[in-house]
A and B are shown apart, each in its own frame.
Chain A
Amino acid sequence: MSGHASNTPDPKTAVLWDTEYHGHDVISTRSLGFFLYLLSDGMIFATLFAAYGVLSYQHSYFGGPTPADFVKPWYTFSQTIALFLSVLAYGMGMTALKRRSRGGLINGLLGAFVLGVLFLVLDIHDVLDLAAHGITVAASGGISAFIVLTQVHAAHIFFGLLWILVMIYQVLRLGFTADTVGRLLSLRMFWHFQAVVWVFVYIFVYLWGYMS
């Protein structure tokens, strides 16, 4: 793999210019860049988790409500189901793409959209319910960390849903071009990545918070 300099070709016969070189593969170039962006996004979550870890000690709640008081595990589990089903729907859409089925792809995207909206509705309902009980970011450092971390994930879902709508429109109007397919692949990575992040949010913020 590494060309050591001792492999230098004979200058009299060396190829100096390459007219056959067709450049980079557009789709895999896009995917790699997007995956790198996703990893940096993962770093955002890791930093938020570090902050949450620091602020999850008893004194960070300033005597006020703690997640143990208000987390409802089975309610949040329903959010988990919604999100994971949404991710599955998107995956099925991508297998339809493999079979060149535009209808199958659109169905997958729509399914992912609807289930994602369900996740968001459940999440927003939860947040509003908390706010009604005075559990907002202004309550304490610990609650700030809880709400910001969970809602940053929700914000990712929101923008992902917007993107799904855009892709439905683009596929309907432009068909399967290198660009639209490349974007669908990026969106797949994004959406599946949200499921991975959710595992951590669910286990270490909701469930662990409930236990403490």
Chain B
Amino acid sequence: MLVDLPGGWNPLLGRLAWSQIPYDNPILAPLFVAVVLGGIAIVALITYYGKWGYLWKEWLTTVDHKKLGVMYIIIGLVMLFRGFVDGLMIRTQQAWAVGPDSSGVFGALHGYLTPFHYGQVYSAHGLIMILLAATPLLVGFMNIIVPIQIGARDMAYPYLNALGLWITAAGAALIMASLFVGNFAHNGWFGYAPIFEIQYSPGVGVDYWMWTLQLLALGTTLGGINLLVTIIKMRAPGMTWFRLPIFVWASLSANIIALTSFPALQVALGLVAADRYLGAHFFTAGLGGNLMLYTNLFWIWGHPEVYFVILPAFGMMSEIFPVFSEKPLFGYITMVLASFAIAGVSWLVWLHHFFTMGAGPDVNSFFSVATMLVGIPTGVKVFNWAFTMYRGRLTFTAAMLWAIGALFLLLIGGLTGMMLAIPAINYMVHNSVFVIAHFHSMLLVIVYAVFGSVIFWFPKVFGFKLDEFWAKTMFWLFTTGTVLVFVPMYMLGFMGMTRRLDYVFNVHWQPYLLVMEGGIVVYTLSVFAFFVLLYVSIRDRVKNRVGADAWGTSRSLEWLTHSPVPFYNFAVTPHVNARDEAAWRRANGIAGVQPAKYVDIHMPNNTAVALYIGALTFVLGFALTWRIWWLCLASLVAIIVLMIVRSYRGDPGYIVTAAELERMEREAIARERQIDGSAGEPVVGGAPAVGRPAMAYERSDLPTTSTPPSMGPGARH
């Protein structure tokens, strides 16, 4: 052993021992029982309905970007729920343990969580929410939507796509394992030196944290490469750069950030691993280690990362606003430029996360000004969304409500961000809950955009709409919860409450904390509303079926596919003629025109290798955490062997013949005609569309608006 390990270690099991399982923890022990029972119930149900074959063939071995995207979103939603429960636990502890007279249960002096456990709860909460909830949700959407928005049949690397998903799943499994075997880290979600050194964190918690992050970093990097190459190389003919849907531009700029910044995270954590496993002195207190170096390296990743998650959310908002304003996006080109400006500037600002660490006024000033510069392109976006809505015909569907809510949260979060950018203010509120409220406002922009997108694109992926009433109920409950939790939090931040307190010493803060606890209760109600939404929507799915253009006012290319999207996306590659192709075709009455003939297409095969490698990365992460060296080596070798075998065998793919395509297409068109009766005749040429309500910009009885740019001089008004 290269480091002195407290606690035992044996060659077979590493640091793993029965004592690492928390039998006597009053929260975890019942939870474990519940999880096991739930797991058994799920396995039993699948077996009873005989669905193992279906699961294996359609989901576990798929390389279809749509299914992989759905699985990413499922992981994201499940982990969002787990992260939410962590948040609930934090709120409850803080509402309870206020003042020296507050009671304590379960071995805690105050409240119900000991500091040791509370530290793990907020560390897990942060890590899960950012990297296992927000990121997979966004990556899932990018996976589903980008290929169909550019007219491609799949991503550039379908197998790599599957690999990225299963590695992400492995990361999720690893952090879930930390609940029941060993502990999690207590150094916050981003870690501090030297508390994560072996001397101060002798347990496995920090190791779980490190390897989970490494797995997620790997998965995201692979996904980033995939998306970038897809957008560069696989656009349909006629899809020039300035006809790209705005969500694709957002994905492009976001993944440039991902590709450039995740390596810094891998190095930062790798060096922590060197300290903990090899006895190095990168970040130790003493022997030449540098504590601030860790913070620096981490935030070189950490800041671009938050822009990596917000840019797709902005892209989603940019897709939703035009559809429900019945107007094209205002200022398309400035939106694109703003996205790249944000991506570029995001690389210049990372020190604002540690203004107080001592770099001095010159350095602080540079980073402060750079941080404030980011507000300019963001402001451009806010104004463009507002101008998109201005004089449009607004429909306040649930998706639109979520998007508008996101816009308001962006205003609050963005403005408080500008405040935090000023070192003089930052020194006052650094590490207070003001910072927490700020970044939660920003992260809620993402959550709102994601929920809006779920409602917006659900009909495209699954073929039926979600129930509007329950979607709106969920929105209002969620928003009420947001206000109740975060407005008091801003106030508490100004009053000086620091973050991560497991015991709140100032009883004057209790009223605010109780209001926040009420907010969490309202959030919980919104979660119930979500489950009701799913139940009701699935129950009423036949009633809510939709055709290709689910909302009637959709604009971009993906709305030309059938709903649900067939596995081949487009039977024949579309030729793109305008920005907002679907809107252009609909306005010119050619939305229903089908291809005159079909040709054979080439699709990739399913593969189990991605699943196996993903599972092996979980084993590797687990073995590294528990220092089971033989298992580390074995799983690493197995991964390499599988990669080599897979590369040798390759994938010739399979052909879908033109005849099969034509048959599937005829069925889909017949189904659509049955649903909304507006599918065009299946011939090529200028067959006129069946009548449909005029768009806002086409009606002569309304006050004139500016001519939408997608309507060129040749188009009908």
One of A88-96, A122-130, A135-143, A199-207 contacting the partner = A135-143
Whether B595 and A43, one on each chain, are in contact in the complex, defined by CB atoms closer than 8 angstroms, is: no
Whether B572 and A18, one on each chain, are in contact in the complex, defined by CB atoms closer than 8 angstroms, is: yes
- Given A33-B156, A55-B282, A61-B288, verify A8-B647 contact (CB < 8 Å): no
Shortest distance from the beta carbon of B299 to any chain A beta carbon, whole Å: 12
Whether A44 and B266, one on each chain, are in contact in the complex, defined by CB atoms closer than 8 angstroms, is: yes
Compute how far the CA of A24 lies from the CA of B236 in the bound complex, rounded to whole angstroms: 10
Chain A residue nearest in CB terms to B591: A16
* Chain A residues within an 8 Å CB radius of B288: 55, 59-62, 64, 140-144
Shortest distance from the beta carbon of A89 to any chain B beta carbon, whole Å: 22
Interface string of B259-272 (1 = CB under 8 A from A): 11111101110010
Whether B156 and A40, one on each chain, are in contact in the complex, defined by CB atoms closer than 8 angstroms, is: no
Compute how far the CA of A124 lies from the CA of B712 in the bound complex, rounded to whole angstroms: 67
One of B43-51, B226-234, B507-515 contacting the partner = B226-234
Whether A3 and B287, one on each chain, are in contact in the complex, defined by CB atoms closer than 8 angstroms, is: no
Does B375 sit at the interface, judged by CB under 8 A? Answer: no
Does A17 sit at the interface, judged by CB under 8 A? Answer: yes
One of B105-113, B273-281, B478-486, B522-530 contacting the partner = B273-281
* Chain A residues within an 8 Å CB radius of B595: 16-17, 19
- Given A9-B577, A15-B575, A55-B293, verify A141-B234 contact (CB < 8 Å): no
* Chain B residues within an 8 Å CB radius of A50: 296-297, 300
Compute how far the CA of A144 lies from the CA of B272 in the bound complex, rounded to whole angstroms: 11
Interface string of A45-73 (1 = CB under 8 A from B): 01110110011000111101000000000
Shortest distance from the beta carbon of A43 to any chain B beta carbon, whole Å: 4
- Count, A-B residue pairs, CB within 8 A: 210
Whether B281 and A3, one on each chain, are in contact in the complex, defined by CB atoms closer than 8 angstroms, is: no
Chain B residue nearest in CB terms to A7: B712
Whether B156 and A29, one on each chain, are in contact in the complex, defined by CB atoms closer than 8 angstroms, is: yes
Compute how far the CA of A36 lies from the CA of B229 in the bound complex, rounded to whole angstroms: 9
Shortest distance from the beta carbon of A33 to any chain B beta carbon, whole Å: 4
- Selected from A4, A32, A60, A137, the residue in CB contact (under 8 A) with B274 is A137
- Selected from A5, A9, A23, A62, the residue in CB contact (under 8 A) with B243 is A5
Whether B264 and A9, one on each chain, are in contact in the complex, defined by CB atoms closer than 8 angstroms, is: no
Compute how far the CA of A143 lies from the CA of B280 in the bound complex, rounded to whole angstroms: 9
* Chain B residues within an 8 Å CB radius of A41: 263
Q: How many residues of A contact B (CB 8 A)?
A: 66
Chain A residue nearest in CB terms to B598: A19
Whether A5 and B599, one on each chain, are in contact in the complex, defined by CB atoms closer than 8 angstroms, is: no
Does B492 sit at the interface, judged by CB under 8 A? Answer: no
Does A99 sit at the interface, judged by CB under 8 A? Answer: no
Whether A14 and B300, one on each chain, are in contact in the complex, defined by CB atoms closer than 8 angstroms, is: no
* Chain B residues within an 8 Å CB radius of A179: 647, 650
Compute how far the CA of A25 lies from the CA of B165 in the bound complex, rounded to whole angstroms: 25
Compute how far the CA of A179 lies from the CA of B339 in the bound complex, rounded to whole angstroms: 36
Interface residues of B in 663-683 (CB under 8 A from A): none
Whether B240 and A21, one on each chain, are in contact in the complex, defined by CB atoms closer than 8 angstroms, is: no
Does B431 sit at the interface, judged by CB under 8 A? Answer: no
Whether B225 and A36, one on each chain, are in contact in the complex, defined by CB atoms closer than 8 angstroms, is: yes
Does B634 sit at the interface, judged by CB under 8 A? Answer: no
Whether B599 and A17, one on each chain, are in contact in the complex, defined by CB atoms closer than 8 angstroms, is: no
Does B588 sit at the interface, judged by CB under 8 A? Answer: yes
* Chain B residues within an 8 Å CB radius of A3: 238, 240-243
- Given A11-B590, A32-B229, A39-B259, verify A19-B572 contact (CB < 8 Å): yes
Does A132 sit at the interface, judged by CB under 8 A? Answer: no
Compute how far the CA of A10 lies from the CA of B578 in the bound complex, rounded to whole angstroms: 11
* Chain B residues within an 8 Å CB radius of A28: 233
Does A102 sit at the interface, judged by CB under 8 A? Answer: no
Shortest distance from the beta carbon of A5 to any chain B beta carbon, whole Å: 5
- Selected from B229, B280, B712, the residue in CB contact (under 8 A) with A8 is B712
- Given A29-B156, A144-B280, verify A11-B686 contact (CB < 8 Å): yes
Does A166 sit at the interface, judged by CB under 8 A? Answer: yes
Does B61 sit at the interface, judged by CB under 8 A? Answer: no
Whether A170 and B572, one on each chain, are in contact in the complex, defined by CB atoms closer than 8 angstroms, is: no
Compute how far the CA of A16 lies from the CA of B680 in the bound complex, rounded to whole angstroms: 14
Does A37 sit at the interface, judged by CB under 8 A? Answer: yes
- Given A19-B599, A33-B157, A43-B263, verify A60-B290 contact (CB < 8 Å): yes
- Selected from A1, A18, A19, A138, the residue in CB contact (under 8 A) with B279 is A138
Chain A residue nearest in CB terms to B262: A40
- Selected from B259, B297, B575, B712, the residue in CB contact (under 8 A) with A16 is B575
Q: List 7 A-B contacts (CB under 8 A).
A: A1-B240, A6-B713, A17-B575, A19-B573, A32-B232, A36-B229, A40-B225
Q: Known pairs A21-B573, A40-B221, A61-B288; list 20 more (Cβ under 8 Å).
A: A1-B241, A3-B242, A8-B577, A8-B712, A8-B714, A16-B593, A17-B573, A19-B573, A24-B156, A25-B233, A29-B233, A33-B156, A37-B221, A37-B225, A43-B261, A47-B268, A51-B282, A62-B286, A138-B279, A138-B281
